[in-house]
């Protein structure tokens, strides 16, 4: 720890009462520990306030202590709320504050859950959103604005039955404020309080904290949960703030019924933003829609509140979407979660294409009124039966004629068993995460269609690309017209995080459409046709060792293994380096010269302070890979490290 921070570690006793057991996580304010209350013989969570340099300790100590007390007071005012982490006490130890909180066993924050399991289903996001909105509303009614609603501040934990992630809790009121109260505000007037990519635009421009601003942050959080990334995620805090104020959210691909609600929550002007009451009603409609039992399930459809016309023409419009509900009283919610997250939700546009233009009139039901019973009604059923029998005989005869005229091996036309045609050459459809080798057959990369082979276990010496997403289409024609653009959108975030990759849509042929599972596969390939040395993006597990720089991504956190290798580690815990960006050196630079000059070049052109790191604490480091010189791209990877050689902590930029 830096000078001025209390010495802490496992086994330390705080205030003569709380024995530290292990660190649960870290953030901008400090660390959270699991501790044992020796007086009451129970486990609690302790929040330790950390000062990272002596100057901060001298200038900001009193403000930090006061802020911790304010956090405890605000959260204690919501004691007993089912969706707020309970605060028990605030104490001082060695002159610094510690907050004693409820320990939530088995909890995982929303950010970690998405990283672990991928984007959540719209129904699950609606459930989480309702719980958090309830907690926020309870605070707003007391005049307390949270000001830092984000995935990391939402905990998901088992309930009393053991159902995982069933309990939803809002935590960290550390920067909350009562805007109309008389309390002192414990932040510098020049500082923006909150997380850049989740701030409301009016807050980013210096406006006061409001309930509407918290609602915008909740919209960003639910967007992250359903899409897997934030609507305004950028490479730096400044870029994120700019996007929040000036840019529209990234297009939604997985939101389904949540899409119109999220758009309403992310409205730039707070005057026109949806209200908390309207949001609660919309989330409830998504979670427990009132659908007719004969209605076809369609989680991706827009909910009835999305269109005002629905209210006036309910009998003639498709019913509200129906979503799976968690089984009440079951001991395990994982089966429900898996079903809800299976990704079988068509987009709103697709749902509208599939829906009939108008439902038959007939009062409150979803079909014509039943005909009165009688002889005439019974006779009506005879003609369809006769016609059906005749049609069956005709089809049987046609089948016999086809079998006689087209015996096996007799040269009749057969459908291509290859999902993507003979040029691609695969006999099985590609799956998300499959690594491939690509053969451009002597042509320049991305010229024509490559021959593809699946590479087992993503072997370093054979991987040239990886499937980053698959999605269903209605026809091979739709795949050809929309597939490339949709693959560009679905791989955008990973492409922007790598130095030299391109997206390639693997399209099913007309004859192989069914064999391809009616899906398009989105590949990321090395832009020069060279090897990528392993898995990409979210398919890399913590602990993955880098044998080359080709799969290092912006924002990766690394631990150095040797001068020639590093491993990927979680940014939520201690780490030695963080990847900032890539820098392209001149074409006449040799590999040896690059290894000698890269760090100085990174410090001059990609300094850590450009990415939010204190220049008095951090400096540049670099990695140079052979693949960048073999391919001619000449990219080096620029990272940030601490000047004192210490580790970086979770919650840093």
Round to whole Å and give the CA distance between 122 and 343: 9
CA 543, 107, 571, 490 torsion: positive or negative? positive
C-alpha to C-alpha distances, 515 to 27, 134, 345, 507, 520, nearest whole angstrom? 48, 47, 21, 12, 12
End-to-end CA distance of the chain: 17
In the structure encoding, which two tokens stand for residue 504, read together? 């390639």
- DSSP 8-state class, residue 185: P
User: Is 572 annotated for ligand binding?
Assistant: no
C-alpha to C-alpha distances, 225 to 164, 172, 252, 584, 629, nearest whole angstrom? 17, 19, 12, 34, 39
Q: In which order are the strands placed within the sheet that holds 42-49?
A: 13-14, 18-26, 30-37, 42-49, 96-102, 87-93
Half-sphere exposure of 133 (CA within 13 A, CB side): 25
Give Rg (Cα) of the chain: 29
* 8 A C-beta contact, residue 274 and residue 264: yes
Burial 158-169 (b: 16+ CB within 10 A, else e): beeeebbbbbbb
C-alpha to C-alpha distances, 18 to 22, 69, 98, 101, 573, nearest whole angstrom? 12, 18, 11, 12, 23
DSSP helix/strand/coil, 111: helix
In the structure encoding, which two tokens stand for residue 80, read together? 């007993």
Q: Nearest Cα to 601, choosing from 588, 614, 584, 616?
A: 584
Residue 519: strand pairing partners: 472
Half-sphere exposure of 80 (CA within 13 A, CB side): 1
Round to whole Å and give the CA distance between 521 and 429: 8
- DSSP 8-state class, residue 313: S
Q: Which residues are catalytic?
A: 148
Q: How many degrees, rounded to 5, is the angle at CA 379 between CA 377 and CA 383?
A: 120
Q: Nearest Cα to 133, choosing from 167, 168, 177?
A: 168
Query: Which residues make up each annotated binding site for ATP?
Result: 47
Query: Which residues make up each annotated binding site?
Result: 47
């Amino acid at each position: 720890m830096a000078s001025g921070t209390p010495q802490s570690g496992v086994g330390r006793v705080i205030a003569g009462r709380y024995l530290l057991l292990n660190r649960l996580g870290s953030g901008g304010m400090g660390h959270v520990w699991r501790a044992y209350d020796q007086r009451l013989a129970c486990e609690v969570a302790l929040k330790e306030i950390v000062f990272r340099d002596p100057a901060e300790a001298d200038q900001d100590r009193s403000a930090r202590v006061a802020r911790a007390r304010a956090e405890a007071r605000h959260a204690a005012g919501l004691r007993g709320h089912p969706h707020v982490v309970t605060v028990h006490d605030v104490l001082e130890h060695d002159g610094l504050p510690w907050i004693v909180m409820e320990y939530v066993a088995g909890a995982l924050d929303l950010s970690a859950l998405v990283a672990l399991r991928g984007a959540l289903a719209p129904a699950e996001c609606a459930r989480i959103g309702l719980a958090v909105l309830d907690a926020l509303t309870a605070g707003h009614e007391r005049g307390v604005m949270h000001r830092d609603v984000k995935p990391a501040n939402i905990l998901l934990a088992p309930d009393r039955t053991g159902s995982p992630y069933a309990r939803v809790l809002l935590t960290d009121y550390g920067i909350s404020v009562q805007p109309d109260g008389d309390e002192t505000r414990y932040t510098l007037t020049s500082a923006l309080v909150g997380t850049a990519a989740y701030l409301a635009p009016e807050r980013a421009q210096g406006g006061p904290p409001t309930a509407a601003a918290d609602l915008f942050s909740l919209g960003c959080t639910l967007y992250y949960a359903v899409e897997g990334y934030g609507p305004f995620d950028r490479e730096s805090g400044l870029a994120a703030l700019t996007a929040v104020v000036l840019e529209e959210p990234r297009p939604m691909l997985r939101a389904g019924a949540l899409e119109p609600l999220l758009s309403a929550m992310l409205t730039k002007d707070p005057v026109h933003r949806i209200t908390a009451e309207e949001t609660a009603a919309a989330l409830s409609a998504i979670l427990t829609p009132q659908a007719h039992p004969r209605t076809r399930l369609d989680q991706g459809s827009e909910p009835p509140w999305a269109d005002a016309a629905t209210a006036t023409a309910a009998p003639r419009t498709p019913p509200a979407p129906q979503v799976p509900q968690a089984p009440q009283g079951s001991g395990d919610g994982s089966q429900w979660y898996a079903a809800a997250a299976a990704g079988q939700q068509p987009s709103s546009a697709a749902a509208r294409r599939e829906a009939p233009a108008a439902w038959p009139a007939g009062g409150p039901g979803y079909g014509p009124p039943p005909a009165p019973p009688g002889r005439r009604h019974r006779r009506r059923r005879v003609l369809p039966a006769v016609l059906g029998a005749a049609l069956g005989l005709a089809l049987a005869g046609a089948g016999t004629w086809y079998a006689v005229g087209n015996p096996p091996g007799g040269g009749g036309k057969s459908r291509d068993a290859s999902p993507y045609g003979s040029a691609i050459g695969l006999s099985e459809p590609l799956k998300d995460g499959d690594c491939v080798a690509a053969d451009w057959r002597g042509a320049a990369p991305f010229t024509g269609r490559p021959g593809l082979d699946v590479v087992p276990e993503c072997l370093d010496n054979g991987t040239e690309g990886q499937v980053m997403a698959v999605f269903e289409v209605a026809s091979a024609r739709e795949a050809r017209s929309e597939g490339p653009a949709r693959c560009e959108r679905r791989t955008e975030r990973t492409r922007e995080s790598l130095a030299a990759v391109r997206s390639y849509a693997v399209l099913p042929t007309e004859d192989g459409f069914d064999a391809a599972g009616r899906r398009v596969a989105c590949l990321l390939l090395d832009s020069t046709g060279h090897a990528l040395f392993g898995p990409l993006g979210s398919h890399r597990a913590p602990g993955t060792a880098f044998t080359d720089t080709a799969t290092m991504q912006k924002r990766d956190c690394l631990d150095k293994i040797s001068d020639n290798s590093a491993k990927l580690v979680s940014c939520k815990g201690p780490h030695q380096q963080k990847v900032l960006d890539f820098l392209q050196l001149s074409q006449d630079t040799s590999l040896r010269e690059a290894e000698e000059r890269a760090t100085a070049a990174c410090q001059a052109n990609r300094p850590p302070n450009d990415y939010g790191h204190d220049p008095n604490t951090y400096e540049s480091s670099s990695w140079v890979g052979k693949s960048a010189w073999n391919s001619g791209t000449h990219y080096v990877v620029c990272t940030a490290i601490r000047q004192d050689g210490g580790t970086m902590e979770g919650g840093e930029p």
